[in-house]
Structures are given as C-alpha cells and as structure tokens.
Amino acid sequence: MDQSGKNSNLIKDSNRLADFTDQVLNGKLEKVESNVDGELLGLEETILRLKSSIPSTPLDQAAIKQMQVRLKTRIQREAREVQPPFWKKWIEIVSRPQLGMAFAVALVLVVLVIFSPSLSTAGPAPLTGTALAPSSTKNILIVSIAAGVMLIFFWMKRPK
Amino acid sequence: MLYSTGSDAIFNHINPFTPLLTTNYMENISKQIYQEASDEILIQQYKAGSQDAFDVLYQRHLPGVYKRVRCVIPENDVEDVTQDVFIAALKSLSSFRGDSQFRTWLRTLTNHKVAEFYRKRTRKQEPLLAPLSEASGRMEGATSQVLEERIFIQNALKKLPENYREIILLRFAEDMQFNEIAELTHQNLEASKSLFRRAIAALRNHLDE
C-alpha cells in the first residue's frame, strides 16, 4: 500500500475510533463493533476498558457542600498554623498607629541624645562651676527618656 | 487575602436600597445573581472581596477538577489533591489576568498539583499507587476487580507522554467533544482525532506490557 493510501486508512481509523468513543461515552454502545478487526479492534477494547474503569458517578450537591466545608476547615487550620515571618510581624507592629508613634518618639529622642551638641562630651570643654557635669546630665536625660518610653509602652499595653 | 469575607459589590451596585434589607435576604439574592454570572464576573467579585463569588466558582468547577484528579490519583488522595488545587487557585486568583479561560487555568493548576503529588511521593519513596486494600476502604460498591483495573489504568496513563494523557483526560474526564478539544488545542478536528487514536494506541501498549 502506498503512503497516501496508508494515510487515508489512518484518518478513517481515527474517525471511526472517535465515533466509537462518542457512542460509548453516550451509553449507546457497550461492546466492540462486530465489523472491525486488527488494530482498531484492540483500540476499541481499550476504550471500553477506560470507560469501565474511570468513575462515572458525578458528585451530587450534598457531596460538593461537604467538600466545601472540609476545604474551608483546612484553609482556616493552615492559616492558624502558618507563622508570619519576623519582618512581617515587625511591620505589622510598627504600622499600628499607637505603637508606631511610640517607636518614632523613642527613635527621635535617641537621635537627639546622640547628636545634640549640648549633650555631647566632644568639642569645647565644659564650663567650670556648673552644678552638674555634662556626662551626668546626659545620663540623667537618657534614664528619664528610657523611663518615659517605658511608661508610654506600659500605658499602651494597659488592659482596656 | 485568603478566603476573606467582604462586601458583595455586585449586589450593592444593583440595589441602591441595600441598607434597608436584611443581611440574609441580601446574601440569598447575591448568591442567585452569582449563580448566573460568568466566571470572569465572579473572579472580579472575588478580587473585590466577595467570598460568595469564590464559593460559586468552587461549586461550578469542583466536579470537573475532582473527576480529572480521580482519573490519575489513587482514591485515598483524590480529595486532598483536589483541595490543593483550589487552595492554590485561591492564593493566586488575585494575579489571574484572564489571558486564558478560568477553566483552562484551573486545568493547568490541576496538572501541576498532580505532578507535585507524584514528585512528593517519589521523594518520600512511597509506592506510587495506593495498595488495593486502602483504596477499597474509600469506595463502597466497587469490586476489587474494578479497583485493580482502575489502578492498572492509572499507572498506564501516568506513563503516557503529556499530550497523549491530556487528550484522553479531556475526552473521558471532562466530557469534551472532539471539536471542543480541537478548538482548545488549536488544532483541526482531524488532527485531534488522530492524536486521540495514537494516544489510545500508546495506552494499549502500556496496558499490554
């Protein structure tokens, strides 16, 4: 048989197998057609095996609802189990208005303490005869700022 | 946002007297509207914060996803893998741009989850197919012969090249007609039928091994 004849036979077989599959899946055929032989017969047998082994009973509404409930339960359980990463927690804390404000105030105060020239020991020598030496002034200021920040923090965390 | 509750914008848009109505009544009406809405509208509503929209999408597409998964995954794991598909869909739906149909997108997601299932099993060195005794516990009414045959065919399907397996699943699991398959795969009808015949021939060879 020449190439074109072979091709036309394959096309014919493909069409017949497709028609056979349609009829089997529509429930119109339950066994191989009697007028086929050779390879097509084997392919039709495979179609019948597939049809009988692939579950055909559709999900009913009750089963769908039950599965939906189980899906939601699993989503909720997984959401509880998954811990957010540290940076996410940190952003969450800072993005709360009260805590964010406290953090910002503390940050500004720390920057002031570090960079304020009057609090710095570097530079020109301190005036003699002042009541307190600059280093002790600084220490008192730092302690009071820390106490202030802690007070703000405890005030925020107070039971409401 | 993962499965969050939110306002049903579609309903608010339709009914300007929303505050006068009870919540239950509103929910029922919005669910009815959603039932008739297209996938695209439901996705938009989900993105706008409506959980009901995703519920309808889930109910609409669950049977198809479940049947496809059931064709290739051992019976005991079918529901877990189906859940994996919808959880993945929930997580990435906000980035779904609608370049393809939702059903096509969900099909790709299903194939990924099925592949992931087998990858994990291989890594854990678990048997690729569940023992017959396990499967029979889940399937009332199915004879052991039917179960054995199903496991045998699942194994053969798994060995097929992806395009062969896909065309068999589209026809058998999703009940798509050959002209629909041709449209989906951007082939002509003759090419689709020819691919199907070759896929069945390859499957037969694996079953005969």
Which residues in chain B touch residue A6, judged by CB atoms under 8 angstroms apart?
none
**Mind giving me the DSSP string for A34-86?**
TT--HHHHHHHHHHHHHHHHS--PPPPHHHHHHHHHHHHHHHHHHHHHPPPPH
Gap from A73 CA to chain B (nearest CA, Å): 11
Does A68 contact B59 at a Cβ distance shorter than 8 Å? yes
| B19 in any annotated domain | yes
| A145 in any annotated domain | yes
Is there a single domain that holds both residue B38 and residue B115? Answer: yes
Does B196 contact A17 at a Cβ distance shorter than 8 Å? yes
Is there a single domain that holds both residue A90 and residue A133? Answer: yes
| A78 in any annotated domain | no
Q: Are A50 and B153 in contact (CB under 8 A)?
A: yes
To test the contact with chain A by mutation, choose from B58, B90, B194, B206 the residue with the greatest count of A C-beta atoms within 10 A, namely B194
To test the contact with chain B by mutation, choose from A54, A57, A66 the residue with the greatest count of B C-beta atoms within 10 A, namely A54
- Report the domain count for chain B: 2
Does A55 contact B86 at a Cβ distance shorter than 8 Å? no
pLDDT attached to residue A58: 80
Is there a single domain that holds both residue B104 and residue B201? Answer: no
Is there a single domain that holds both residue A48 and residue A91? Answer: no
Which residues in chain B touch residue A22, judged by CB atoms under 8 angstroms apart?
177-178
Question: Can you give the CATH number for the domain in which B69 is found?
Answer: 1.10.1740.10
| A9 in any annotated domain | yes
Does B172 contact A58 at a Cβ distance shorter than 8 Å? no
What ipTM was estimated for this complex? 0.74
| B67 in any annotated domain | yes
Is there a single domain that holds both residue A48 and residue A92? Answer: no
Confidence class for position B10, pLDDT limits 50, 70, 90: very low
Q: Which residue has the higher pLDDT, B53 or A106?
A: B53
Domain that holds residue B196: 160-209
Q: Which residue has the tokens 């059931």?
A: B70
Is there a single domain that holds both residue B121 and residue B73? Answer: yes
Domain that holds residue A45: 3-53
The per-residue pLDDT of chain B, averaged, comes to 81
| A59 in any annotated domain | no
Q: Which residue has the higher pLDDT, A101 or B174?
A: B174
Nearest residue of A to residue B204, measured between CA atoms: A46
The interface residues of chain B toward chain A in range 73-102, judged by CB-CB distance below 8 A, are 79, 82-83, 86-87, 90
Is there a single domain that holds both residue A153 and residue A90? Answer: yes
CB of B173 within 8 Å of any CB in chain A?
A: yes
- Report the domain count for chain A: 2
| B150 in any annotated domain | no
Closest CA to B107 of B202, B180, B34: B180
pLDDT attached to residue A10: 85
Question: Can you give the CATH number for the domain in which B209 is found?
Answer: 1.10.10.10
Q: What percent of chain A has pLDDT over 70?
A: 80
| B152 in any annotated domain | no
Contacts of A58 (CB under 8 A, 6+ apart): B63, B67
Is there a single domain that holds both residue B38 and residue B101? Answer: yes
Confidence class for position A89, pLDDT limits 50, 70, 90: confident
Of A13, A25, A71, the CB nearest to B197: A13
Out of A78-92, B51-65, B108-122, B126-140, least confident range: B126-140
Overall average pLDDT of the B148-161 stretch: 90
| A107 in any annotated domain | yes
Element containing residue B94 per DSSP (H, E): none
Is there a single domain that holds both residue A30 and residue A93? Answer: no
Confidence class for position A149, pLDDT limits 50, 70, 90: confident
pLDDT digits (tens, 9 = 90+) for B123-132: 766 555 555 4
Instruction: Please tell me the total number of residues recorded for chain A in this structure.
Output: 160
Out of A38-52, A114-128, B30-44, least confident range: A114-128
Which residues in chain B touch residue A82, judged by CB atoms under 8 angstroms apart?
none
Is there a single domain that holds both residue B171 and residue B123? Answer: no
Nearest residue of B to residue A9, measured between CA atoms: B194
| B137 in any annotated domain | no
Q: Are B158 and B119 in contact (CB under 8 A)?
A: no
Is there a single domain that holds both residue B172 and residue B124? Answer: no
To test the contact with chain B by mutation, choose from A11, A21, A65 the residue with the greatest count of B C-beta atoms within 10 A, namely A21
State the Cα–Cα distance between residues B179 and B187, nearest whole angstrom: 9
Q: Which residue has the higher pLDDT, A64 or A2?
A: A64
